[in-house]
Amino acid sequence: MIARKFSACLLVMVLTASAFAFASFGARSEQSSADTYGYYWTDSNAPTPSVAFNWIEISGSGEDVGFNYADSNYGGPYPIGFDFEFYGSTYSAFNVSCNGYIQFDMSSSDSYNDQVPSTSDPDNIIAPFWDDLIVYYPYYNYGAVFYETIGATPNLQLVVEFFEVSRDYSYNLLTFEVILNETGEIWFQYLDMGTETGPSATAGIENSDGTMGCEYSYGSATLWDGLAVKFERGLIGFGPDAANMADWGTSAVYNIYVTNAQTITDSFDIEIDYSYLGWSVDVYDGSSSPLVDNNLNGIPDTGDLAPDESFHMLVYVTVPDPPTEQNETSVLLARSSNNPLAYDDVTLTTQAYQAHFGTTHSSSVEDTDLDGDYDNLYVDASVDAVSDGTLGMYAYLYDASFTYITYVWVSADVPAGAGTVNASFSGEDIYSSLGDGPYYVYLDLRDRLWNPIDSSSHTTGALAYADFDTPAAMFVLPFSDYGRDDDLNDLYDYLVVNVTIEVFDPGYYTVESEMYDDWYWTYLGEYDYSGMFIAGVYDIPLLYTSSPINQSSLDGPCELYLDLYFENFTLTDEYDYLTGSYLYSDFEGPPAAFAAPHDDNAYDSDSDGYYNQINVTLYIECFETGLYDLEVSVYDMSRNEYAVIYETLSLTAGMTVSYTVIIDGAYIYSSGDTGDFYLDMYLYENGTTNELDYDYYYTDTYYYWDFDVAGALIDSIYDFGRDTDADGWYNELVFTVYIDPLSTGDFLLEADVSDSSYGWMMDASEVVSLVEGVIYEWEVVLSAYDILSYSASGYFEIEAYIYDETGWTYYDDDYAYSSYYDLGDFDPIGAFFETPYDDYGRDDDSDGYYDYLIMSFYVNASTSGYYDVEVYVEDPWGYYFDTYVFELYVDEGNPELIEVEIPASAIWELGYDGWWYFDMTVYDHYSYTEYDWDDYYTADYYSYTDFDPPAVQFDPPHADYGLDTDSDYYYDYLMVDVELNCGQAGAYTVYADLYTPGWSYLTGLESTESMTVGNNMVEFAFEGWMLYNTYSSGDFIVELVVEDDEGNVMDYDTHWTSYYYYWEFEYPPAEFSSPHSDYAVDEDDDSLYDYLIVNASVEAYADGDYAVRGILYDEWDNVVDLAVAQATLAVGVQDVQLWFDAFPVANADYYPYYVELMLYDDQRNEMDTDWHYLDGTYDPADFDPSVPMIEAGWAYDAPVIDGTVSLAEWFGADPVDLLAADGMNEVAGMMYILNNGTHLFVLIDATGDLTETDGDFAAVAFDT
């Protein structure tokens, strides 16, 4: 072919303009250079040379390959109709993929397209549009793939047409074709591509091993309607075009091939035709010897090549040190010695490394919070860059002994020339390492595509870890570990790992840990420990149960992965710990375990020569008598889940029991599968998720034809409309499912019906008795009511399924589409909207400003009844404003007027001008069935200034300050002064909610004030100790709302306080002061404890009323009971007693183990938390199991439940003081209980604050 230097020049300009990166270009030239074999393409785009588009239509005459719901499907082989030569091989048949390509001697359907050539599958392909396509996928397309051989020798043509297919889940239809000519040419033609012009597709050809290929496009929007592309073989194959990277002063090496595609022997001169930057280009043969001039014309050449013979050469492009630019383009020519006009070119694009490290780096430290300790260590790495762009850098930090500390990844935009990339190391990480400097920093430089391009190092000045900020908390070595034998049977019940943490900032911390064996990475369990800690050093025991260690059959040591979190989400430290060596046999095994081998057998229950079921027998060995939970998941021969079985087993120590899993033979026969079943088996402690053992099992191989014929098949499905009241409209759409039973028995029938948009409309299920060979007609009825309420019209789809009567065994399914049905075919029902719609501003007080924006419309009904109307409103800027709901009764034919009122205060709060939007829906009041929908934009344009301004508005700036009432230099209150401007005198309520700097809610206050016209100020005093308890410093946030005396919101605002350090505020007025203590008491001398009492030690710093709440847990963290105690405390340390009832302790599955304690002030604000591990060991059997009771008085006359109470009707009731029973329940009142032998009467008489609020609710629960 005649190569064109124009193409190379165009490429140079593209590379220069785009600051080269390895990517495909979207520009299309009219003709390509040849690939290594000699194939090149010419398209129908101008300028010349070009080819003509000449579509060959075969959808009406060609053979359909039969794709149906095809998504990654393929078919073939199909005859070509002649011998076709492709990359040196001859083929007479082809395969076709629904994903837009054909293939020789191979078949596949890969939806993930690659560039060509590529050695990844698929290979040997001709791809006009390789992408993730679907063929004949109803609702997306009804397309097909056709093929036909046309014409006469020697000009036969194979046409393969992809007719109206689409990309996966796209409605955009594509029609294109590939044509193979007997003369060797390959054509792609694109008739109708819609909007899919190939931005994610590949178009090109590739040989059988993916080493050669000619690409037209990859990920480029260039495949448009009317495009034709012809591939043919030229006289010379020279390639491939390639791109590579190289460091400064080194060479990029390219493997290039020249192929003689002529019918005569020839040699080819190799010339350097073009170099953008003039970088050195050297050419060698495949053995790395310099290319020589064999034909003595002064130009190095390949030597003689026979027809179809290839010559391998190496091309070295050397990058200068330093380069002046980053991207070089080199163009080489291969020219025929016999015909100098026959030549081809290859383009090599070489990219120099983007940058190198410079020779001088620097480091520095910074104390940002001026506390005398460094917060950060900075390293400034010098770089020299060839071009502007983004660089990345890993920086690894080591101490003076080269012990690793941490690393950071940074990226920076650097200009061409000298620059820096800056890394910052946290001072807390350095302190946690306990390693002194000077610190060594290893630097790893990466380009914008993450390629490593240089490395360097830097050593800081003399620094010590103590010079840096302490972390909130950290792990402190050494750790220790040991085995603990609780039941003194010479086997460990736990592996205990003692870890030490040092806390610098008081707060709530969690140690999370996972343990694995050190050899095979077997998971051995996890353990978390959480609690409130003040500054100090703490030893934390982590307890790992023995069973997983024993069951692993792996000896230690064990590897622990430890994380330390502050306030549950901030990681403050992490460490990997290796325990000492242990023998797994030193640890106690589980109380029960699976005992392989398990077995299975097929069973013929009716002796007819065919199996009815498979029995799988599992064996479990018990070591401790008790209840255990068994879970078995069964997977069929195709590894679909067949069943999940849950069973509680009562096992006896010393016994091995069997458990049989039955697999239904009918299921196996209906599946048509041959193979084995697979079972996953888990054994748990009863009522817990504590896994004791796991096992799995594969059955023998079974053949479905060895099992009894069973089940039923769906024969056909038809539909019709049924008019039950003969009024000319359908009342029902009926699907009739015809079922052919293969055996007699009970079957579960299920069906789903959806509309033409795949919207679910109904489901149906029924268990029926069928007789073998007798066709059964099952009607699935969709009511006109449902069709109209869904506004569904068009084609409806039914999906029907048949199962055995249990629903476990599947037999058959089918789907069908109905005839076309219009909404007008069905009986009208329900409610609907009627015009006119209207909108206007309403001025109630005649002051010239609107008080409300009114939108009105009408609702009518074809059937009298109760309906709900929902109106969704958007403001003039298109944002959601509010939703209004109206409940109404509508008489048939008598429309009801609905008015939506938007108050002026809300419109002023928005401050938007424009048209308002209303979205209206009417529903059935009881079933919430949708009947009608409409929307409406206001006819008038409304300015918010047309409306009455709110009666009161916030008038920032607000003010805040700390108030120290007791002159101890700590703030007792955070004071917030809120400014408001009142336009109408009256009573208003201001709400102030306080949030931490991290937006965690703290507390809320409210104040109702009588305001006068003009400026008003409302003062809020937030308890200072609550801010201290956040351990958060920064700008606190106050969310403000003001309402009028009717609860209408007048205005919102947000106030950000000044910066406060939490330690500037008063310490909480009380806190827990361990140690706590505990004991049990027997009040009725029956040798059983009636209460477990915990003395919670509290230190009060101010006299006041406090409450202590305790949650009692067992040894497995299950809640046993809750107790609350209120106390008036004086300054000092004193005990608050929590009385836990005997009943929940006696009925617990495990021993009580610890109590979670919470301390509150008299406003129920939480002040402190603590944990108390019980001093004594309490056996639940030692506690009184009697149920606590309230004795109900006898009701001589049953009380009348009418909302009024008289003492006479509740005479004799047993009263319960709710506050005395539980002071934390926030309800002051009395509960009275009566019974008359058949009914229990309960009265709750609230005597406290009776103000109605949105948060009010009441509930009574009975445990029977």
CB under 8 Å to 1158, separation ≥6 — which residues? 1108, 1109, 1110, 1166, 1168, 1169
User: Measured at the alpha carbon of residue 446, what is the angle toward residues 445 and 451, in degrees to the nearest 5?
Assistant: 135
pLDDT reading at 1238 higher than 50: yes
CB under 8 Å to 989, separation ≥6 — which residues? 1006, 1007, 1008, 1009, 1042, 1043, 1045
Q: What mean pLDDT comes out for the span 1066-1072? A: 92
The predicted structure's pLDDT at residue 7? 30
The predicted structure's pLDDT at residue 637? 83
When the pLDDT of each residue in the chain is averaged and rounded to a whole number, the result is 88
- Residue ranges of E strands in 105-248: 125-130, 133-135, 144-150, 157-167, 174-181, 186-192, 202-206, 213-218, 227-233, 236-239, 242-246
| 634, burial (CB in 10 Å: exposed 0-12, middle 13-18, buried 19+) | buried
Rounded Cα gap, residues 165 and 71, in angstroms: 11
108 or 659, which is more confident?
A: 659
Rounded Cα gap, residues 1160 and 1167, in angstroms: 5
The predicted structure's pLDDT at residue 357? 94
Closest CA to 467 of 366, 572, 574, 362: 366
1193 or 280, which is more confident?
A: 280
The predicted structure's pLDDT at residue 68? 85
| 1242, burial (CB in 10 Å: exposed 0-12, middle 13-18, buried 19+) | middle
Rounded Cα gap, residues 538 and 728, in angstroms: 85
1249 or 318, which is more confident?
A: 318
pLDDT per position as a tens digit, 789-824:
677 788 999 999 998 888 877 888 899 999 999 877
Domains and CATH numbers, the chain: 39-233 (no CATH), 238-352 (2.60.40.10), 355-467 (2.60.40.10), 473-586 (2.60.40.10), 592-706 (2.60.40.10), 712-825 (2.60.40.10), 831-946 (2.60.40.10), 952-1064 (2.60.40.10), 1070-1182 (2.60.40.10), 1193-1246 (no CATH)
What Cα–Cα distance (Å) separates residue 29 from each residue in 9, 45, 175, 816? 11, 8, 24, 50
pLDDT reading at 579 higher than 80: yes
pLDDT reading at 1247 higher than 80: no
Give residue for tokens 């709750």. Answer: 1244
In which band, very low, low, confident or very high, does the pLDDT at 1100 lie, cut at 50, 70 and 90?
Answer: very high
Helix (H) or strand (E) run with residue 952 in it: strand 952-954
Within 10 angstroms of residue 153's Cβ, the number of other Cβ atoms is 8
Span of 34-43, 108-117, 258-267, 782-791 with lowest mean pLDDT: 782-791
In which band, very low, low, confident or very high, does the pLDDT at 758 lie, cut at 50, 70 and 90?
Answer: low
The predicted structure's pLDDT at residue 478? 93
Q: What mean pLDDT comes out for the span 511-530? A: 88
Percentage of the chain lying above the pLDDT 70 cut: 95
pLDDT per position as a tens digit, 162-184:
999 999 888 899 999 999 999 99
The predicted structure's pLDDT at residue 1260? 62
- How many CA within 13 A on the CB side of residue 613? 11
Backbone φ and ψ of 1214, nearest 5°: -85, 110
Percentage of the chain lying above the pLDDT 90 cut: 62
Q: What mean pLDDT comes out for the span 471-489? A: 92
437 or 929, which is more confident?
A: 437
Q: For 1067, which DSSP code?
A: P
Answer whether 167's CB lies under 8 Å from 98's CB.
Answer: no
Q: Tell me how far apart the 2 most distant CA atoms of the chain are, in Å.
A: 130
What Cα–Cα distance (Å) separates residue 650 from each residue in 551, 626, 658, 749, 1233? 22, 6, 12, 37, 41
1226 or 366, which is more confident?
A: 366
The predicted structure's pLDDT at residue 1261? 61
pLDDT per position as a tens digit, 68-116:
888 888 998 999 999 999 998 999 999 999 999 999 988 888 878 899 9
pLDDT per position as a tens digit, 963-984:
999 998 899 999 999 999 998 8
Q: What mean pLDDT comes out for the span 252-266? A: 93
pLDDT per position as a tens digit, 70-83:
888 899 899 999 99
The predicted structure's pLDDT at residue 1226? 61
Span of 233-237, 241-245, 1188-1192 with lowest mean pLDDT: 1188-1192
pTM, full prediction = 0.49
SS3 759: coil
The predicted structure's pLDDT at residue 1251? 60
The predicted structure's pLDDT at residue 784? 83
Rounded Cα gap, residues 1256 and 1226, in angstroms: 11
The predicted structure's pLDDT at residue 102? 96
SS3 785: helix
pLDDT reading at 1207 higher than 80: no
Q: What mean pLDDT comes out for the span 1194-1208? A: 75
Rounded Cα gap, residues 1221 and 786, in angstroms: 52
